[in-house]
Amino acid sequence: MTKDLHARHRSVLPDWLALYYEDPLEITHGEGRHVWDSAGNKYLDFFGGILTTMTAHALPEVTKAVSEQAGRIIHSSTLYLNRPMVELAERIAHVSGIPDARVFFTTSGTEANDTALLLATAHRRSNTILAMRNSYHGRSFGSVGITGNRGWSPTSLSPLQTLYVHGGVRTRGPYAHLDDRDFIDACVADLKDLLGHTRPPAALIAEPVQGVGGFTSPPDGLYAAFREVLHERGILWIADEVQTGWGRTGEHFWGWQAHGRSGPPDIVTFAKGIGNGMSVGGVIARAEIMNCLDANSISTFGGTQVTMAAGLANLNHLLEHDLQGNARRVGGLLIERLRAVAAQVPHVREVRGRGLMIGLELTRPGTDEAAPEAASTVLEEARAGGLLVGKGGGHSTSVLRVAPPMSLTVAEAEEGAAILERALRSI
């Protein structure tokens, strides 16, 4: 049955639409932190549909909210008042940390980042954007143009002039040998030098933790130091929180808060987990920036009643059950457990991450050379053992990405770590 579906997939969908596994998996249903395939096999889900299933599969509060709203009205566009949209925007503005915040809803993180670029370039009247090396911001023409990851950038054509900055990867590159303070100082010096050779950019866009890039991050405080340099020149700071937002990193509700001494970003983008699988994305910005467009605009499918009802129910559940605290506690235990395993597996170069956002970088033993074949082997072996994880990494897909729903229990964390240990030992 799955082979037939795979053949049909290949006959009507693009060749570049990636699938995991030599024998691709059809997921038919889920509950909590588990999913089932079409053959009835049960898996512990440590990837959550690429970090979209933030709280749990089939969360009763979300399914109830979706069902009840769908029974009333699903969609009307943004041309009409929309109570669920206003209510969710109020909650997000309140937790954003941005003064006088305005919220615009989209259908995805890609569209959110494109909107942020539109706002920044219009507000600053500049089409130059600073972005981080090893970054990923989406698959649209605009967001591909600022993506600093060769594996996810199919064209060099772009409506923007993009300049790439050091700092997103702590353990690779020309400054990797420095301690944290000197690393930050070197990256700031590089940023200042870059700004001395170009016309004033509109903004810096950065992921606090690089997602597709393999869950890499700079030392805490780097973006605060960058912000001081940018603020002096009127350059905006866009925090891409599509993967890091809503408490997933455990220590903070937003990833930017690890760099927060200079205040919140000018613009924050979000998506993925807020909808718990529903298509919700958005942009938060100060009113003066959000309102800078001098033409009409709408969003046909951004902020539909049914997706907003889901997002509101999901956010309420997350806050009421302190899933950020759970991500910090259970994620901390899981990271330490995986580091203990990694110490005995020569292929593991580094276990890194925050909360329930963990990366295991695989290299050829004794070198820094990426080992994508080893990562593929572990991915397959983990599946055979009943665990789903993801892949990523800027130097090739040699990083295993672990990001389960934030309601993960200690017992489930231990079960998943044990399966992953057996899979790692298989290489």
Instruction: Give the residue from 425, 422, 427, 405 showing the smallest Cα distance to 47.
Output: 405
Percent of the chain scoring above 70 in pLDDT: 100
3-state secondary structure of 30: strand
Residues 211 and 124 in one domain: yes
Residues 273 and 313 in one domain: yes
In this predicted structure, what is the pLDDT of residue 201? Answer: 98
Residues 79 and 220 in one domain: yes
pLDDT at 262 over 90: no
pLDDT at 425 over 90: yes
Residues 14 and 69 in one domain: no
**Sheet with 161-165, side-by-side order of all strands:** 101-106, 281-286, 267-270, 236-240, 203-206, 128-132, 161-165
Chain CA centroid to CA 254, Å: 11
Residues 27 and 148 in one domain: no
What is the mean predicted confidence (pLDDT) over 316-322? 98
Residues 286 and 359 in one domain: no
Domain boundary among the residues 277, 299, 320 is at: 320
- Structural domain tally of the chain? 2
In this predicted structure, what is the pLDDT of residue 280? Answer: 98
Residues 158 and 185 in one domain: yes
Domain boundary among the residues 320, 346, 375 is at: 320
Q: Return d(Cα 66, Cα 278) in angstroms, integer.
A: 9
3-state secondary structure of 216: strand
Q: Return d(Cα 130, Cα 149) in angstroms, integer.
A: 14
Domain boundary among the residues 304, 320, 336 is at: 320
DSSP 201: P
Residues 258 and 396 in one domain: no
> What range defines the domain where residue 220 resides?
62-320
Residues 279 and 371 in one domain: no
**Residue-wise pLDDT tens digits, 156-204:** 889 999 999 999 999 999 999 999 999 999 999 999 999 999 999 999 9
Run of H or E including 89: helix 83-96
- Measure the N-to-C terminal CA separation of the chain; round to a whole number of Å: 30
Confidence class of residue 21 from pLDDT cuts 50, 70 and 90?
very high
In this predicted structure, what is the pLDDT of residue 408? Answer: 98
**Residue-wise pLDDT tens digits, 50-108:** 999 999 999 999 999 999 999 999 999 999 999 999 999 999 999 999 999 999 999 99
Q: Out of 60-69, 87-96, 260-269, 362-371, which region has the weakest mean confidence (pLDDT)? A: 260-269
What is the mean predicted confidence (pLDDT) over 301-326? 98
Question: 365 to each of 63, 355, 423, how far by Cα in Å?
Answer: 46, 27, 16
Residues 33 and 80 in one domain: no
pLDDT at 260 over 80: no
The residue written with tokens 């353990």 in the block is 171
Residues 40 and 75 in one domain: no
**Residue-wise pLDDT tens digits, 30-43:** 999 999 999 999 99
Residues 300 and 403 in one domain: no
Largest separation between any pair of C-alpha atoms in the chain:
61
What is the mean predicted confidence (pLDDT) over 320-336? 98
What is the mean predicted confidence (pLDDT) over 18-27? 95
Q: What is the CATH number of the domain that holds 14?
A: 3.90.1150.10
Strand intervals (E) in 243-344: 267-270, 281-286
Run of H or E including 207: none
